[in-house]
Amino acid sequence: MEIRTEQLNEAAHAAFLERLDAAFERDLADYHRIEREQRLQFLTAAVELAENKGFASEQGIASYVLALWYLDIDFEGKSDELASLLLSSLPEVRRVHAMNQWVEALLGEPDNIAAADEALKKALHLTEPWGN
């Protein structure tokens, strides 16, 4: 029996979607009210968007998907700083941390993009030792 790398990757991807769905169902209010098929469609599309932004780790992908959930598909267009970060070649761990700080700040003050941008810049400054 031969199992190709592609088959293993597909199985791992499906398992990740299941874990992500279970975590969101457990932790996000109202997520469980959406039909399972619709949830999986959202997660599949959101994971693809995250991967297109260069996120490869499960943590990075989950963070991006969570940002989409809370802020909608156009969230990165709200800030030139965030858009630049997501297109940068910085290590994923730094991009994820800075994006998460931006999202957290914006959720705290939805009309204050400048404060979210400052949180992003601060996170980038504090994580400089993590590499470029």
Alpha-carbon distance values, 126 to 76, 86, 89, 121 (Å): 22, 18, 17, 9
- CA-based nearest residue to 100, from 13, 126, 89: 126
pLDDT tens-place values along the chain, 132 residues long: 566 888 888 888 999 999 999 999 999 999 999 999 999 999 999 999 999 999 999 999 999 999 999 999 999 999 999 999 999 999 999 999 999 999 999 999 999 999 999 999 999 999 988 877
Q: Are residues 6 and 32 in the same domain?
A: yes
pTM: 0.90
Domain of 127?
74-132
Residues 90 and 59 occupy one common structural domain: no
Are 115 and 126 contained in the same domain?
yes
| Together in a domain, 37 and 81 | no
Specify whether 47 is located in the same domain as 107: no
Look at residues 73, 100, 118 and tell me which one is the last residue of a structural domain.
73
Give the domain-ending residue among 73, 89, 117.
73
The answer to whether residues 90 and 122 belong to one domain is yes
Number of structural domains (the chain) is 2
90 and 52 together in one domain: no
Which of 14, 42, 15 has its CA nearest to residue 28?
42
81 with 126, same domain? yes
79 and 51, same structural domain? no
